[in-house]
Amino acid sequence: MADNLSDTLKKLKITAVDRTDDSLEGCLDCLLQALAQNNMETSEKIQGSGILQLFASLLVPQSSCTAKVANIIAEIAKNEFMRIPCVDAGLISPLVQLLNSKDQEVLLQTGRALGNICYDSHEGRSAVDQAGGAQIVIDHLRSLCSKTDPANEKLLTVFCGMLMNYSNENDSLQAQLINMGVIPTLVKLLGIHCQNAALTEMCLVAFGNLAELESSKEQFASTNIAEELVKLFKKQIDHDKREMVFEVLAPLAENDAIKLQLVEAGLVECLLEIVQQKVDSDKEEDIAELKTASDLMVLLLLGDESMQKLFEGGKGNVFQRVLSWIPSNNHQLQLAGALAIANFARNDGNCIHMVDNGIVEKLMDLLDRHVEDGNVTVQHAALSALRNLAIPVINKAKMLSAGVTEAVLKFLKSEMPPVQFKLLGTLRMLIDAQAEAAEQLGKNVKLVERLVEWCEAKDHAGVMGESNRLLSALIRHSKSKDVIKTIVQSGGIKHLVTMATSEHVIMQNEALVALALIAALELGTAEKDLESAKLVQILHTLLADERSAPEIKYNSMVLICALMGSESLHKEVQDLAFLDVVSKLRSHENKSVAQQASLTEQRLAVES
């Protein structure tokens, strides 16, 4: 075999120059046979013989051997080590020229050759790009799209594969294909050739690649991709095939317009059916599919229009089915159910309807099942749902009397930052403008001590921020001396003072209002802590800083006046020459700030 191959290569060198088609054809057949028996070894011999350069001259449209030469190139380019040599031998340009051939076999083998050279090869892709190969292939896909004979479908599959290898994981080449309008063409292909498994699969992989690119979403949204994918999805019985469709649906469903199209095309019904079929199975692939289907369901609910369409005023079949997931024994469904409720709870109307129809009790039961060694993701999702439901004013009192605070406080001992974060957010929403509830919670020493501890969670900025905000909220909404005393005793004052220097204006403001209430109601109790936290110096800095927001300046001055009742703090104010800073603010463009500056100046002058 080895000797035969060497002879063939020698002979090929001579015949390639003489261009005698008959003897050339015999040599090419020998090479194809050798490649079929041992591709790698034969490819190495071909590379060593220096014959690759000759192939470029054999790739001529009018020769009867052209298809065989392209076939040989396709075969050798299956080896990674042969791709750059093919480029260096100048084969790309003549191959791209052959894409203009009318001969179907030439087109097929040329498509294969270019596709294999591009596979995972930057040099290959770059050469095809420079030769303009992609546009010609896309034009072929467009013109051949409607023909459903087997030979044409085979060619279409090769061309799709070539474009995929050309652009895979390469954002700029994918963007180029999108600009050339490949997406509508591929969607049309999928619709016409949905009976052809190989072509369908190739389209799906191409969609999967392109859908990762943000710029593709708008083009996809302007086609009937949703309808075609749902149609295809319904036909798939095989788990692996459905998995392929899922892999395209997930990135596409991140786009709100496509979410709505998928809902209208009936995807949700398919997903609910999968959940029903797989819920009791313990087979690994069924568990995976249940997760994929329920995750995708939750993703569809992230779009406002798609979510509202599925809510149907709380009467919708989909909403009811999702509700039934919450009491299930399957953790994945409990999680998806709670996340879905959190997504439905994105406007006041939905929240009010759900609270009136008993959703809070379902979520509290779910949380109850996860108190001891519970599933953290389920805890997090259920608390997210409760937090969203607590946003409308009308729901707060109902949720408080249903015992939500007690249910939530059971998770105070959690060491998981995501759970801590949602727990804090839920309590903060519940006590907003609810004086009694704020007082009750603010006197809960265990809670306040935990908040003070979390105020120092430097590794978890979210938990730290929410703890500070809840401390402040307990004071602002309760206006209670007992709450202030509890917070002082637990060491919370220094955190409120630090919060006044936050980079977020809203947090600065909440801190200053809480500190003003402390100064007005319990200055004697908090005096030492305010002093050691250097509150007066911080207020001086806030007032002197031109970048401070008007409301920060205003509340800082209110607080200064309130601090005058303490001898030691008063002395600090005098020592820091506040009068200079405050008098400058009398001409502030904000009327409230200017007015408060005049009042504060008078107060400082009287007290000095």
Same domain, 81 and 49: yes
Q: Are 367 and 383 in contact (CB under 8 A)?
A: yes
Mean pLDDT of 360-376: 91
Whether 256 maps to a domain, the answer reads no
Segment holding 319, helix H or strand E: helix 317-325
Degrees (nearest 5) of the Cα angle 547, 550, 552? 85
Residues 498-529 have pLDDT tens digits of: 999 999 999 999 999 999 999 999 999 999 99
Instruction: For residue 491, give both structure tokens.
Output: 């060491």
pLDDT-derived band of residue 1, with 50, 70 and 90 as boundaries?
A: very low
Residue 452 placed within a domain: no
- Give the residue numbers spanning the domain of 122: 1-130
The whole-angstrom separation of Cα 20 and Cα 212 is 50
**Residue 267 forms part of a structural domain:** no
CA distances for 329 relative to 360, 410, 504, angstroms: 18, 21, 42
CA 558/CA 517 separation, integer angstroms? 10
CB atoms within 10 A of CB 308: 18
- Domain end, chosen from 250, 284, 314, is at 250
| Between 20 and 568, residue with greater pLDDT | 568
Q: Report the pLDDT value the prediction gives residue 57, as an integer from 0 to 100.
A: 87
pTM for the full predicted model: 0.82
Cα dihedral across residues 260, 266, 269, 271: positive or negative: negative
Any idea what the CATH number is for the domain that residue 168 is in? 1.25.10.10
Categorise residue 348: left if φ over 0, alpha if ψ from -120 to 50, beta otherwise.
alpha
Q: First-to-last CA distance in the chain? A: 109
Which amino acid would we find at residue 318?
A: V
Q: How confident is the model at residue 236 (pLDDT cuts 50, 70, 90)?
A: confident
The pLDDT of residue 316: 84
Helices vs. strands in the chain: H and E counts, helices first: 40, 0
Domain identity same for 50 and 91: yes
Q: Is the pLDDT of residue 575 over 90?
A: no
DSSP sequence for 116-157: HHHTT-HHHHHHHHHHTHHHHHHHHHHHHTT--SHHHHHHHH
Residues 150, 114 within the same domain: no
Tell me which residue has tokens 């399957």.
330
The number of folded domains in the chain is 2
**Domain assignment of residue 282, yes or no:** no
Which of 289, 403, 378, 299 minimizes the C-alpha distance to 343? Answer: 299
Residue in the structure block whose two tokens are 């220097």: 501
What pLDDT shows up at residue 27?
87
pLDDT digits (tens, 9 = 90+) for 384-429: 999 999 999 999 999 999 999 999 999 999 999 999 999 999 999 9
Alpha-carbon distance of 500 to 512, in angstroms, equals: 6
Q: For residues 69 and 113, what is the distance between their CA atoms, to the nearest angstrom?
A: 10
Angstrom CA distances, 106 to 62, 139, 574, stand at: 11, 17, 93
Last residue of a domain, one of 130, 159, 188: 130
Measured distance CA(28)–CA(20) in Å, rounded: 12
Verify that 42 and 155 share a domain, yes or no. Answer: no
Q: Give the domain-ending residue among 207, 222, 250.
A: 250
Q: Are 442 and 487 a contacting pair, CB within 8 Å?
A: yes
Say how far apart CA 206 and CA 208 lie, in whole Å. Answer: 5
pLDDT tens-digit readout, 147-178:
989 999 999 999 999 999 999 989 999 999 99
| Coil, helix or strand at residue 589 | coil
